[in-house]
Structure 1
Amino acid sequence: MEISESITLQALALSHAKELLGAVDTSRADLAVYMPWTDTLTDMAGARGYINARKNGQLYGSQWFAIYYNGAFSGVFGIKYIDPVTKVSELGYWLSTAVRGHRIINQVLNVILPYLSSSTTVHTVEFHCLESNEASIRVVERTGAKLVRYVDNTMDIPNKDQRLGIYALKLKMT
């Protein structure tokens, strides 16, 4: 899926394992602050496990994508699930350190949000951001998402006493 001249999404597949591992290795210190899976993604088996967990998660409506920026694997974007009853979907993402600051995720969201609105039953998207993750909070606030509540953080990460903010965006129905 082409997002822009410089950004494309590919369905996440086992063939991405080597590139994914490389991106995590070069960004591990930054990612480990917010992502609990970095400890298990240290070799090819871990990379394949990460991909399989997302592809075979069995959550309704989930879709996972490899993000390519200027032809290089740069991160992962996920529609984590679509709840058919509440019509809520959670979106998640991470980027390698080298490509941050180019508004890549906002450009992805400029394509994904209209898709969710027009092609699925989703009425609301949620983003879960740790309260210290200022960059991610800026990304979701640029979409118009608003903080609706805090919940306790149960992730095994450094500084785990921080809260997890739930940001919600109501989609314009087409």
Structure 2
Amino acid sequence: MFIHKVDNELELKLIDLRDAKKIFELSEQSRNYLREWLPWLDVTRTVGDTRTFIQGAQRDYGENRGMTMVILCDRVAVGVIGLNMINSMNKTAQIGYWLGAGHQGHGIMTRAARALTDIAFQELSLHKVEIRAAVGNTKSRAVPERLGFKQEGCIRQAEWLYDRYVDHIVYGMLDSEWTEKKNETKDARGAIDDGE
């Protein structure tokens, strides 16, 4: 079982069928909250639906097309994050995520997205990672903005959400930019440690 330790509190675990009940219950508890911005809630009505999703995620992982992880905070499942649509030829992927309603506001998703971006560039040798979010979804958009992703544009009417289309803002990060940001952070920490 693949587990990536993010920090003392947070881990990312490759999703498997044993997670179906926990993930379904988390999405069920947060259904009204999540439904505002995620289109899959109306087709996820049972643990079996979540199991079907996980089987698809496992298939994608086996074919190097995706990597879906459970976000564990103090060993409790609090959300899901994944590298979706991995394109091996172009070395690109998109990060998608959701967090249970009761776990917002603690920096969990920013830390999880930072760790998954590290995995994308350092372990999978991808060239570019994108994060897309609906224009009005300010909480989701705050994650790539905090991580320094560049806003690259707007895709008009990119997604059907139950009764309307929403535009998506596209954020992008290149591997060279990510490496530069990490080096700047290390240099800043070194200066602090040296008493500057």
TM-score, structure 2 length as denominator? 0.81
Task: Compute the displacement of 1:159 (Å).
Answer: 5.6
Partner of 2:59: 56
> Greater shift after overlay, 79-88 or 131-140?
79-88
**2:90 — aligned with what?**
86
TM-score under structure 1 normalisation? 0.90
Residue 142 of structure 1 corresponds to which residue in structure 2? 146
Q: Secondary structure at the match of 1:161?
A: strand
1:16 to 19, 25, 31: 19
> Is the partner of 2:60 in helix, strand or coil?
coil
1:42-101 Cα shifts (integer Å, max 9, x gaps): 111111112122222376341111111122111111011322232221111100001011
In the alignment, what sits opposite 1:114? 118
Contact 2:94/2:130 (<8 A) preserved: yes
Map 1:32-51 → 2, pairs under 5 A: 32-51=35-54
The higher-RCO structure (CA 8 Å, 6+ apart) is: 1
**Equivalences, count:** 174
Specify which of 68, 71, 74 is matched with residue 70 of structure 1. 74
**1:56 is paired with a residue of what secondary structure?**
helix
Structure with the greater alpha carbon radius of gyration: 2
CA RMSD, Structure 1 to Structure 2 (Å): 1.9
Q: How far apart are the structure 2 equivalents of 1:117 and 1:128?
A: 18
Asked if residue 98 in structure 1 is aligned to residue 132 in structure 2, the reply is no
Whichever structure has more helix as a proportion of its residues is 2
Gaps of 5+ in 2: 180-196
- How far apart in 2 are the matches of 1:82 and 1:99? 28
Aligned counterpart, 1:133: 137
